[in-house]
Chains A and B, each alone.
Chain A
Amino acid sequence: MEMAIAGVGKWLGSENPGTKPPAQLLPSRVRARVSILTCALAEALQRAVDFQKITTEPSATVFASAFGETGPLLSLLEQALSPEGEVSPLMFMYSVHNNASGCLSIARGDQGFTTSIAAGEETFLSALFECYGLLKDGWDSVTLILGDEAPPHFFVPAEQRFESMAVALHLVNCSPSGPRRALPRIRLHTRPEENCGKVPAPPNSLVNHPCVSAYQTACLLEASQSGTLRLAAWGPWLIDVLPPLD
């Protein structure tokens, strides 16, 4: 299973400590109301668009996050458990897992395909399968946007904590001819003997991040390097990041 990468973008929470990223794709009133996660996904998408190297037809969009809108959800739970017991309808509206999918499709007027995946440490792997299925189904390109917001410290032990992070990849079908020969590629497989290079370790702040392999993939792509990564603790799946055919 091979796909070419036409654009890549990533964002780390430490770039904007304590604040939301600029997320210019979102209207300012929406940005003010939504979570760090939704802003982070919008920011990573903006960076992938800026990076994009080729023109493609309209894209399907796959969002993915292991935990989703944890921040708004916990705030809502606190409201619900307060003596008044009433929750903010606006915050409830923005607390669904597919919030970023909804907000960005509205902001971009995109009535095409969108979905939202939530598969724990397999989130990146699941999202890549979804992207591959969509490309084989006839989409010219698929934009994958994934990430997770740091969970509140009181809820998770120190050994499970991680920094907020988001990554966007613009994927297209590989082509043996034309401008797509000049794009780097990724390949999903289960053959460890085909390892194509060691990958630098992620920052300590991301070691426990459920989508850490997506961040490492983005780093390799941005640096035009090759390497093989294990995609999830579960299962045999590996991802190779490969150089362009040309």
Chain B
Amino acid sequence: MHVSQEAYPITASSILSPLGCGVESHRHHFRNGITGLQPTDSGSPVSTFLGVVETPLPDLPPSLTRHQTRATRMAALLFEEIRPQVKAALDRWGPSRIGVFLGSCNAGTAGTENALQCHLGGKPFPANFDFHNQHHFYGILHVVRSLSGCTGPGSVISTACSSSAKVFATAQRLLNANVIDAAIVGGIDTLCFLTLNGFNGLGLIAKQMCQPFGQDRDGLNLGEGGALMLLERSGEAATSLIAVGESSDAHHMTSPSPGGAGAIAAIKAALLRANLRADDIGFIQAHGTSTRSNDAAEGAAILDVFSTQTTVVATKSYTGHLLGACGGIEAAFTSLSLEEGWLPDSLLKGEVDPKAPVHLTRHFQDFSGTYAVSNSFGFGGSNISLVLGRSK
């Protein structure tokens, strides 16, 4: 077997979710099967479970105050977790050779929501509101770049729920093209009222805790958080980004292509690029939203490409659906599982859907494989699969 020559070591990562901040907190919740989802209170317009980040977030330094939003404060917290490794990378590669590529769906929408509420109520905008610097997606990039000192190419990708997985592909291409030598990649998203309302209007919000791939699943739970990872051209690391596969459904804005054709194309493209066979893959970190149609399509895709015994992990039952940040944080979970040799319980209460009978983890378990696939699929038919591997 000849593994892709495009593999890049993941030399640092940081994670923020309803499970807390950092690897220790996430390991604790996964080992003990403790979800971060909580029921909404009685005043909520939608009765569901949400994954809220309760970790205190730092204020931005004065030079970045005009970009301060919940999303950029999360970005600042995540960056602090990898600051030492980024500093070492800056010394090694130089600032202009390190890119920053982030994904997000909502960015500053929550702040715009507050401002609009004031406007509609005949009140002035909040004193610190700045549509130009806070509403759009650039804030998280600007903050991470400013805090890090990295001056290489930067981008924010917003392809709905695949956003922060797509940034791995961008970084890998620019590493391959020798435009950069390292990249900070990941994504951040925050909860907002509009998203909750919108998904509820589409009939996709679960009243109970989400049940990815469950027979009785009735929709998704929303969450917030993010992850950052440092990819380098070379270096000591427990895991690497091996390859990426991408496709477009060209089918429907919110429903996946029947039979998971787009997902199959993305997974197969990633395996081909990685120069791996399906049976080389030890587990699949599923997108696993817990909606009827998405899990049916993804389940069909997994069973088309892999054996019925390939282990599938679904972690949105712990964090909720982090939308634009889910691809990044689930890549970080995949990396953590590869590095430490365990897989979490997917927290399914009932039976796996017999129409998509994937081999879902039903308890915390040891794992000794070398490679894993992490799937992310978004509105607009945007599909991506990442292949990550344990370093030899």
Binding site for B on A (CB under 8 A): 1, 66-68, 70, 73-74, 76-78, 80-81, 85-89, 92-99, 101-103, 105-106, 108-122, 125-126, 129-130, 132-134, 136-137, 151, 154-156, 160, 190, 234-235
Residue contact A81 to B120, C-beta cutoff 8 Å: yes
Decide if B320 is an interface residue (CB 8 Å cutoff).
no
What A residues does B379 contact at CB under 8 A?
Answer: 93, 96, 98, 102
Interface residue stretch chosen among B71-79, B248-256, B350-358, B362-370: B248-256
Given the interface pairs A106-B250, A133-B177, the reply to whether A87 lies near B197 with Cβ below 8 Å is yes
Given the interface pairs A87-B194, A98-B382, A133-B177, the reply to whether A119 lies near B253 with Cβ below 8 Å is no
Q: Which among B119, B139, B381 is the interface contact of A102 at CB below 8 angstroms?
A: B381
Decide if B39 is an interface residue (CB 8 Å cutoff).
no
Residue contact B248 to A112, C-beta cutoff 8 Å: yes
Decide if B109 is an interface residue (CB 8 Å cutoff).
yes
What A residues does B155 contact at CB under 8 A?
Answer: 117, 119, 122, 126, 129-130
CB distance from B218 to the nearest CB of A (A): 17
How far apart sit A183 and B381, CA to CA, in the bound complex (Å)? 33
Decide if B156 is an interface residue (CB 8 Å cutoff).
yes
9 more A-B residue pairs beyond the given contacts A126-B153, A126-B154, A130-B155, with a C-beta to C-beta distance below 8 A: A66-B136, A80-B193, A89-B202, A97-B160, A102-B381, A105-B380, A111-B250, A122-B138, A235-B151
Residue contact B158 to A95, C-beta cutoff 8 Å: no
How far apart sit A82 and B355, CA to CA, in the bound complex (Å)? 40
How far apart sit A77 and B113, CA to CA, in the bound complex (Å)? 6
Given the interface pairs A81-B120, A113-B246, A160-B132, the reply to whether A99 lies near B380 with Cβ below 8 Å is yes
Q: Which among B115, B120, B153, B253 is the interface contact of A99 at CB below 8 angstroms?
A: B253
Residue contact B248 to A76, C-beta cutoff 8 Å: no
Q: Which among A99, A105, A133 is the interface contact of B250 at CB below 8 angstroms?
A: A105
CB distance from B110 to the nearest CB of A (A): 10
Tell me the count of chain B residues lying within 8 A, CB to CB, of chain A: 62
Decide if B272 is an interface residue (CB 8 Å cutoff).
no
User: B199 — nearest CB in chain A belongs to which residue?
Assistant: A92
CB distance from A164 to the nearest CB of B (A): 16
What B residues does A126 contact at CB under 8 A?
Answer: 153-156
User: B142 — nearest CB in chain A belongs to which residue?
Assistant: A120
Q: Which among B107, B132, B166, B246 is the interface contact of A156 at CB below 8 angstroms?
A: B132
Residue contact B381 to A105, C-beta cutoff 8 Å: yes
Given the interface pairs A98-B159, A116-B158, A120-B136, the reply to whether A106 lies near B253 with Cβ below 8 Å is yes
How far apart sit A151 and B248, CA to CA, in the bound complex (Å)? 29
What A residues does B194 contact at CB under 8 A?
Answer: 73, 76-77, 80, 87
What B residues does A103 contact at CB under 8 A?
Answer: 253, 380
How far apart sit A132 and B99, CA to CA, in the bound complex (Å)? 14
Decide if B157 is an interface residue (CB 8 Å cutoff).
yes
How far apart sit A110 and B257, CA to CA, in the bound complex (Å)? 13
Decide if B117 is an interface residue (CB 8 Å cutoff).
yes
Residue contact B202 to A105, C-beta cutoff 8 Å: no
- A-B pairs with the 5 shortest C-beta distances? A102-B380, A120-B138, A133-B173, A92-B198, A97-B158
How far apart sit A115 and B380, CA to CA, in the bound complex (Å)? 10
Residue contact B112 to A87, C-beta cutoff 8 Å: no
Residue contact B252 to A106, C-beta cutoff 8 Å: yes
User: A109 — nearest CB in chain B belongs to which residue?
Assistant: B250
Interface centre among B45, B107, B135, B153 (most CB of A within 10 A): B153
Residue contact B179 to A98, C-beta cutoff 8 Å: no
Residue contact A98 to B198, C-beta cutoff 8 Å: no
Q: Which among A68, A98, A125, A160 is the interface contact of B380 at CB below 8 angstroms?
A: A98
Residue contact B159 to A101, C-beta cutoff 8 Å: yes
User: A120 — nearest CB in chain B belongs to which residue?
Assistant: B138
Given the interface pairs A86-B201, A111-B262, the reply to whether A102 lies near B138 with Cβ below 8 Å is no
Residue contact A97 to B170, C-beta cutoff 8 Å: no
